[in-house]
Amino acid sequence: MRIALAVWNGRISPVFDSSQRLLIVEVEGGSVVGEREEPILHRFPPGRVGELRQLQIQTLICGAISRPLANLTAAAGIRLIPFVAGEINAVRDAFLAGRLPGPGFWMPGCGHGGGGRGHGYGGRRFRGGQRPW
């Protein structure tokens, strides 16, 4: 499996739409077998998703993400774990341990404190705790 984490200064980048780097993590049998950083060359959503596909990313872990980019990512068959915050190694390890998404890594102000009543996205709330992706 190949996952990508949007990175900035050793942490998850706050907004994927403006992120400039990815940490690509190769996982086999639940263990990391390789890591490398790659630049994100495209500014616009279709180009960004094209880069993810070219890198053969199966899961993208990021901070905030615009609805158009989230929709394109999902349409490309890439699992999206958005609204994540934290130090890169801690986030990677939490993902490998099955703890993402989780309360220790939620982005502040992203509607996770609703007790399961819905998660905020773009100023909207979704019934039943379901996000649009």
Whether 16 contacts 44, CB under 8 Å? no
pLDDT of residue 110: 62
Q: What's the mean per-residue pLDDT of the chain?
A: 83
User: In terms of Cα–Cα distance, which of 42, 78, 46, 44 is closest to 62?
Assistant: 78
**pLDDT tens-digit series, residues 9-39:** 999 999 999 999 999 999 998 889 999 999 9
**Cα–Cα distance between 44 and 112 in angstroms, integer?**
28
* CATH number of the domain located at residue range(s) 2-129 in this protein: 3.30.420.130
Task: Give whole-number Cα distances, 123 to 35, 81, 110, 120, in Å.
Answer: 35, 19, 9, 6
As a residue count, the chain comes to: 133
What pLDDT, on a 0 to 100 scale, did the predictor assign at position 55? Answer: 96
Query: Which of 103, 4, 128, 130 has its CA nearest to residue 62?
Result: 4
Instruction: Identify the weakest region by mean pLDDT among 1-5, 46-50, 118-122.
Output: 118-122
> What's the whole-number mean pLDDT along residues 81-103?
91
| Nearest C-alpha neighbor of 71 from the set 9, 124, 121 | 121
The domain limits of the chain are 2-129
The pLDDT value given to residue 102: 76
Please, which residues have CB within 8 angstroms of residue 66's CB and are 6 or more apart in sequence?
Answer: 17, 45
**pTM for this model (two decimals):** 0.81
Q: Pairing between strand 11-12 and 2-8?
A: antiparallel
Average pLDDT over residues 69-82: 95
